[in-house]
Structure 1
Amino acid sequence: MKKQTLFSLIAVFAGSALFVYLYQYMKMFEGKDLIAAISGTFLQAVITAVITYFLLTGQSAAEEVKERNVEVFKQKNEAYKSFIDELWKAWNDKNISYSEISNLLSIVSQKIILYSNKITTEKILFSLSTLTKYVGHENLTDADKDKMQDEIINIVKILTKELDLGGDINTESIKSIKIIENTILPLLDVKEFKIKLPSLLKEKVDKSIPIGQVFYKTIEEGLEYLCVEIEKSPILIAIGPVSKQRSSFTLIGFYVEYYQNPEYWDYRDASKGWRKDFLAGWWRDPLYDKMIDFNNVDKDSISRIKNEKSDDNPINQFTMLIEKYYSEWKVNDKNILEIINICTKKINTQK
């Protein structure tokens, strides 16, 4: 029994004892009306106090239970949210690693199991055991990726039902999610990759070739090229266009704006047209067209972007192409460094 409850009961009994004592004492006198009035008033006060006490005690206990339930639900919601966040990481990657499955199991054993009933826990563990079939496989088939995602959705549905917030993931919702995933998300992946490409490429190429900045530049008829500065010169290695039109093809060549750099005129490829600012000897190969096209995204492009270790990854392809072109290109039996030196001397002589 709580101290507060015990104290209240003692107070009630003490008051009653006092009342009996006063009643017996006052009976010795003839003031019976006074005794009756006092008795009635005191009894009414005692009854009121007792009723009020039990009402307040019941209300306090109910509020205590309510606060406890709210806090438990809050903790349960946070545990489920952290678990679902981890599941969605695997969903987005369409791949699940050993560390990810270990982390999911850890969350279940440390948090989920505390707030879930036995059936829910068993269902989640069964789905996790099914997911282990796909752990560590970097080249899952599309069918396996779909099965893995279906299992993740199944776990989310179990958790949603357990929380009972009114939400649900039905078959139509899953179809809509996959449609968005297969159409919009790849575009976002490629857009993000395009932004990162210059800095990633500079980091790799800079190890073998003295270069400056790497950036995008509009060169030919509004088409965008990926450009790499040759250090201490106006020369760019231009690859593109990276966002192709139907009639365009991919090339790599040394680019210089001849109007500002007339000393390079002897080496230009043409006097007009889009080739006028390219040095002679640019390369064209149908294989370049498969490297990257930011306007036309397909599953193959996404796969190559995400597979950083593969030779087909655009970063590795661009790096190998730039290094090969830089080392093998020659015009009039001169490489690019020799031509830069010749043109630099012309500039110094004119000064």
Structure 2
Amino acid sequence: MSYIAIIGAGSWGTTLACLLSKKGFDVIIWAREKEIADAVNYKKENPLYLPEIKLPDSLTATDDIFEAIKKARFIVNVVPTQHIRSVFAPLKGKLNDENIIVSASKGIEKETLKTPSMILEEILNKNVYVLSGPSFAIEVAQEKPTAVTISGEDKTLRLLLQEIFSTPYFRVYEHDDPLGAEIGGAVKNVIAIAAGICDALELGNNARAALITRGLHEIIRLGKKMGAKEITFSGLSGLGDLFLTCTSKLSRNFTVGYRLGRGESLQEISKSMRGVAEGVETSLSLMQLSKKLDVEMPITSEVYQVIYEGKSPQQAAWDLMNRTLKPEFY
């Protein structure tokens, strides 16, 4: 019952493994890189993705995914969205009816335009529960107060997962709209790139407030078109995550936007960053998805053009402000 496998040893995966291990669960973390697994096992640290955080003595790691899931009842995906399919494909047909799958990744897969839970459900043929919300890994690792949400189909399992993940500093709510939680978690990363550009161009607090608000409308329009519940986007996995990611340099996506706004190329930024800024590739996926579903997403479109078509951040900001006038709600 208590064995938990965390698949992905980035900052968020390591943080969740640390949190659950401290609660007394038997936790093993799968790392793609053997050196990370060795560092967790022998030094009780993850120097690449979560430096300066001492990991629990009971936490173990492996670079063998089959070893990771061998005893696990709970399997938590924390793999970057574009790599979920390749990591989990070997597990097809290897799980049993007792396994419970949780996804804590954010993004939209290119080509298929699927969310993380959709990818996992396709491969594993199991319902997936989504953990999402405003949660910088380093602050959770430092045990600073954080609130997130767990969402999924079966309320009994949601309540079980709520209890498993909750601590005095990590408060977990539950609801029944995993699709909405994933859409909020994916789109907010693209809006955060726009927010970083906004700050770099010194456009002011008014501009950032407008950007966050109109960004929320893009999330809502896409979410409703895909069948999510509108109320979800006023919650932790919607507005909460959006606000956090758009207002702090702890956000990798905000930082990418800020550096783009300062004139750096994406290649320069990528070379110097540790970890994945999901919004970069998600902007491409969302452009395809918005066209497919005929959903207007002007901020997303401008971010895409800056990243992939070489448009200047200044021109993108100008074009957003000088679009055809519209009613606020439509």
Give the TM bin, normalised by the shorter chain: under 0.3
Q: Which has the higher contact order (CA 8 A, sep 6+)?
A: 2
Q: TM-score, normalised by structure 1?
A: 0.23
Q: TM-score, normalised by structure 2?
A: 0.24
Structure label with greater radius of gyration: 1
